[in-house]
């Protein structure tokens, strides 16, 4: 299928082709017609599948083709995202696709001065991409009124729930008009996510393209058995390989992420960390440096990593294996995208073997073990 077959307007097609895209991804092919028809949607898809464009393109078309040119510019579309990084990335895509459409867009998140955001609101905007906390702050201060919202997207609903945003989301939804088109996207379909979907969607169409037990087919997976104290040495050893162009390294804690960065820096390897204790500016600086190859290694916690999207990322390294098997699949899905080969390397210490077993159960096959490395450890059963 070609994008032209999705009945998108010419300015959107031009923007899509300018990015070099000819064919829609499966999530785009299935969801764009549903959204254009005005139906509520429950979309299940992993990060990296083209999900943002799947809702950005039809929302831009609906706003453009159903505009009263004389009306005051009120916020008509609201997209809620769990993290500042993801909100920024969603906004970037909207901006790229909306060139030539006379659409005003604003990104609203905390960690930065609210003044530029409130000034933009006073001038009038069409689309708002926001994180829950700052959005509620501005609503309470009287800067934002949501009673003209026609299109509402709740993105990464599972991560929203993980991060404890459920009460904030309920408060925001209570301020939206009852008549609107709602789209909920999630990478998983836990009972909590399904409950949320049933509470906010009206006769929705469901598009499920994310079998979480299926890691990307283009990602090779290896596990290294190593003691906890030797993990930093193993990481430095693997980074000597020139095939590791860039590595996104995962830890379970913010403190662990900082420690890995310090250890790598001592070894002369350029690295930075991204996690919840970092300021917004520091996060954006680290992500920008990683994307433009100023640093070779970005160390991240799971919450902070959601929304990280780096083209042609060669390696994901699980410095610490996640406690939740599904998290492993989400992590390694950062590589092996857009038909590019990727590698996922996992370091397993003695107390992480139960986590590894759960991953094997979820993905339904064992991960290949690398025995020939300088820090190999044989664990007794």
Q: Among 123-127, 212-216, 230-234, name the one with the lowest average pLDDT.
A: 212-216
Confirm if 10 and 37 have CB atoms less than 8 A apart: no
Q: Among 41-55, 114-128, 234-248, 288-302, name the one with the lowest average pLDDT.
A: 41-55
336: domain CATH number is 3.40.50.300
**Residue 9 shares a structural domain with residue 34:** yes
Average pLDDT, the chain: 88
Identify the band that residue 206 occupies on the pLDDT scale cut at 50, 70 and 90: very high
**Residue 13 shares a structural domain with residue 139:** yes
Q: Would you say residue 82 lies in a domain? A: yes
Domain termination residue (choose one: 208, 239, 266): 208
Shortest CA distance to 86 belongs to which of 287, 250, 341?
A: 287
Confirm if 298 and 290 have CB atoms less than 8 A apart: yes
Q: What are phi and psi of 68, to 5 degrees?
A: -90, 110
Looking up tokens 């009287």 gives: 142
Q: Which residue has the higher pLDDT, 135 or 189?
A: 135
3-state secondary structure of 278: coil
Summarize pLDDT for 159-172 with one digit per residue, the tens: 888 778 899 999 99
Summarize pLDDT for 90-107 with one digit per residue, the tens: 999 999 999 889 899 999
Question: What single string gives the DSSP state of each residue in 63-102?
Answer: HHHT--TTS-----EEEE-SSHHHHHHHHHHHHHHTTTS-
Identify the band that residue 282 occupies on the pLDDT scale cut at 50, 70 and 90: confident
Q: Rounded to whole angstroms, what are the CA distances from 67 to 12, 49, 76, 111, 143?
A: 16, 30, 10, 33, 23
Per the structure, the complete domain to which residue 242 belongs is given by 219-369
Q: Would you say residue 353 lies in a domain? A: yes
Length of the chain: 381
Model confidence, pTM: 0.64
């Amino acid at each position: 299928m070609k994008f032209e077959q999705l009945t998108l307007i010419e300015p959107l097609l031009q923007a899509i082709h300018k990015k070099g895209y000819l064919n829609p991804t499966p999530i785009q092919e299935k969801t764009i017609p549903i959204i254009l028809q005005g139906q509520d949607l429950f979309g299940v898809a992993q990060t990296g599948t083209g999900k943002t464009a799947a809702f950005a393109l039809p929302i831009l078309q609906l706003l453009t083709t159903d505009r009263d040119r004389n009306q005051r510019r009120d916020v008509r579309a609201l997209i809620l995202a769990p993290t500042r990084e993801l909100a920024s990335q969603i906004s970037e895509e909207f901006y790229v696709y909306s060139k030539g459409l006379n659409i005003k867009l604003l990104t609203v998140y905390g960690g930065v001065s609210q003044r530029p955001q409130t000034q933009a609101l006073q001038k009038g905007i069409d689309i708002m991409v926001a994180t829950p906390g700052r959005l509620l702050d501005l609503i309470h201060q009287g800067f934002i009124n949501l009673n003209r919202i026609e299109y509402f997207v709740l993105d990464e609903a599972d991560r929203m729930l993980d991060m404890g945003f459920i009460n904030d989301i309920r408060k925001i939804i209570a301020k939206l008009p009852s008549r609107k088109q709602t789209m909920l996207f999630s990478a998983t379909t836990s009972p909590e996510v399904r409950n949320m979907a049933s509470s906010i969607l009206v006769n929705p169409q469901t598009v499920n393209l994310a079998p979480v037990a299926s890691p990307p087919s283009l990602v090779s997976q290896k596990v290294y058995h190593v003691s906890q104290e030797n993990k930093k040495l193993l990481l430095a050893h693997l980074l000597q390989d020139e095939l590791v162009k860039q590595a996104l390294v995962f830890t379970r804690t913010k403190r662990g992420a900082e420690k890995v960065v310090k250890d790598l820096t001592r070894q002369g390897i350029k690295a930075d960390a991204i996690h919840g204790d970092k300021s917004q500016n520091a996060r954006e600086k680290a992500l920008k440096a990683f994307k433009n190859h100023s640093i070779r290694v970005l160390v991240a916690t799971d919450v902070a990593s959601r929304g990280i999207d780096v083209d042609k990322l060669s390696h994901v390294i699980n410095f610490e294996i996640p406690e939740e098997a599904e998290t492993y699949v989400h992590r390694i899905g950062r590589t092996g995208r857009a038909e590019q080969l990727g590698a996922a390397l996992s370091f397993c210490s003695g107390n992480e073997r139960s986590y590894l077993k759960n991953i094997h159960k979820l993905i339904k096959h064992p991960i290949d073990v690398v025995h020939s490395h300088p820090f190999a450890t044989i664990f007794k059963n």
